[in-house]
Amino acid sequence: MRMSFRMLTLTGLALVLQQTAFQQTAIAQSDLSPLQDYAPVTDQLLLEPPASDWLMWRGTYDLSGHSALEQINRNNVADLKLAWSAPLGEGGNMTTPLVHSGVMFIADTNNVLLALDARNGKELWRYQHPSDNLDGRRIGIALYGDKVIVPHNDLDVVALNVRTGEVEWEQAISVPSTEVSRGYYSLRGAPMVANGMVVQGVGATIVPEGGFIVGLDLETGAEQWRFHTVARPDAPGGNTWNNLPLNERSGGSVWIPGSYDPALDLVFFGTAPTYDTGPLLPDLGIDGVSNAALYTNATLALRPRTGELAWYFQHMPNDQWDLDWVYERQLANLQINGEQRRVVFTAGKMALYDMLDAATGQYLTSLDTGIQNMISHIDPLTGDKTLYPSAIPNAELGHLLCPYMLGGRNWQAGSYDRSRNMVYLPLSELCMMGGPIGEGTLLSSGVETTAQPRLDSDGNFGRLQAINLDTMALAWAHRETTPPVTAVLATAGSLVFGGFLDQSFKAVDADTGDVLWETSLGHIPSSFPMTYAVDGKQYVAIVRGQPSRFVGSLYGIIAGFLGADNSALGTPSTGAAIMVFAL
């Protein structure tokens, strides 16, 4: 059959028009806001989040800080480039972006919440919380249903519509007194959605009656329960405060988000110490009265629906050095003493891990990373710790104590890689000249804490430590001049990402610690890196700038150690931003 020239021309024209229409549709689709196809975050999604999403503070309920994404891996990470960036506000912060359905949500400074297109950083909407309290320092937010749940340090929790940024509900967290002379309350930790409840820790720094944890209704924000982290005089643990009245008890701040075990239906939170340590220094010698100060420096296991305390374990009673045990409670199935156990494990500032049975709180074992010189003995049955005499504040002598009061580790969370059974923990190798009483200003007991290098220091103050949980032993360590100042992120691509005080962002080999890729961010990072994928493409994100108070203090200490030759620290050359990298 023969076809005329005219028919061929029309057919060709039709094909061209069809191809053009397809291209225009593709372009139009790429320009569409991902909010149009935003899928609600369900309980099932939170239980089994897709690898492409980062739905909560450390990615998953067990706070692993590990991603199953492997498009970026140790064979190609050298090709990682900046894909996009978006400016953020100035000020202190320590925020974590969340990503779902191609939308990135991030808590900026000055009470701003941003929704961005996770493919290119295009702003979709922003919410400005009306408040005179512009203190940033927020670790993160939460996603559930069609809501993004945002805490603010004026003690308001707000639920926003994910598509518009409009307020769905707003709940003020009541406190015993708003007239606090020295301290402050805060909502620094990210909220967590567990078993139909929003669970939020409340920071309480040097305020009477201490901190607490609340459960809020998901639909209305109304408070359903409250657990006080400073024991009341007439309640269990009330006799552990040297007979102090309630208004003279303080501490137990809850400023790090919790973890959740759905099978046990338990949430796990850590608490900070008290800052009014002077009245707790002596033992009164009264039967039935102690100075342990419950529930400071403890792991708390609570029922998320009711706030009922299932169990607690106090890691360090009567802490006189501000060596918090407040940090992430990670969950894993581990072989301990030849028995398979569901374990909650955590390390305080001493970078000493305690392993507990997640169902009962039974002490199992400890693992020391070699940072501390203050604990001489740990009871293998109870986990009770004995301090060296030099680690007890006294009126006459000072001692070189490790770590420094900022900690061998601090809020920079570690990552747990289940496939390798390895933990990766950012560390600082710092000590202090501690004491005598009355010479310094740390806590109300007045101990001195002057930062010092370790006696065996080789000039490397930063360490990224790998820990093998099969053998309960230290594996490799990557060490360098400046300490890590972000959490670390481990991925199925056999990589561990982290940011350092010298403004660098690095990827190291998960099996060896060898640096495989690094870039200068142009400013100090102070945040929680994460990774996600959109349309089959993996991205790695980190916030630069917005240095926290911890980072500012650490910068001054390391600059002092390095003296005139402190060029390794560099000088920030650009503003705060979210930086997103891809192949």
Classified as helix, coil or strand, 577 is: strand
The kind and range of the H/E element at 436 are none
Q: Is the peptide bond before 403 cis (omega within 30 degrees of 0)?
A: yes
Classified as helix, coil or strand, 567 is: helix
Task: pLDDT tens for the chain, 583 residues: list them.
Answer: 344 433 334 344 444 334 434 333 333 445 689 999 999 999 999 999 999 999 999 999 999 999 999 999 999 999 999 999 999 999 999 999 999 999 999 999 999 999 999 999 999 999 999 998 887 789 999 999 999 999 999 999 999 999 999 999 999 999 987 777 678 899 999 999 999 999 999 999 889 999 999 999 999 999 999 999 999 999 999 999 999 999 999 999 999 999 999 999 999 999 999 989 999 999 999 999 999 999 999 999 999 999 999 999 999 999 999 999 999 999 999 999 999 999 999 999 999 999 999 999 999 999 999 999 999 999 999 999 999 999 988 878 889 999 999 999 999 999 999 999 999 999 999 999 987 876 667 788 888 889 999 999 999 999 999 999 999 999 999 999 999 999 999 999 999 999 999 999 999 999 999 999 999 999 999 999 999 999 999 999 999 999 999 999 999 999 999 998 888 898 899 999 999 999 9
> What is the Cα–Cα distance from 259 to 282, expressed in whole angstroms?
35
CA 532 to chain centre: 18
Q: Residue 30 has what pLDDT?
A: 53
Q: Which CATH architecture has domain 39-582?
A: 8 Propeller (2.140)
Question: Whole-model pTM?
Answer: 0.94
Instruction: Tally Cβ neighbours within 10 Å of residue 366.
Output: 19
Q: Token digits for 313?
A: 């374990």
Per-residue H/E/C for 505-534: EEEEECCCCCEEEEEECCCCECCCCEEEEE
Q: Residue 1 has what pLDDT?
A: 38
Q: Residue 14 has what pLDDT?
A: 45
Classified as helix, coil or strand, 105 is: strand
Report the amino acid identity of residue 373. Answer: N
Q: Residue 379 has what pLDDT?
A: 98
Parallel, antiparallel, or unpaired: how do β-strands 484-491 and 66-67 relate? parallel
Length of the chain: 583
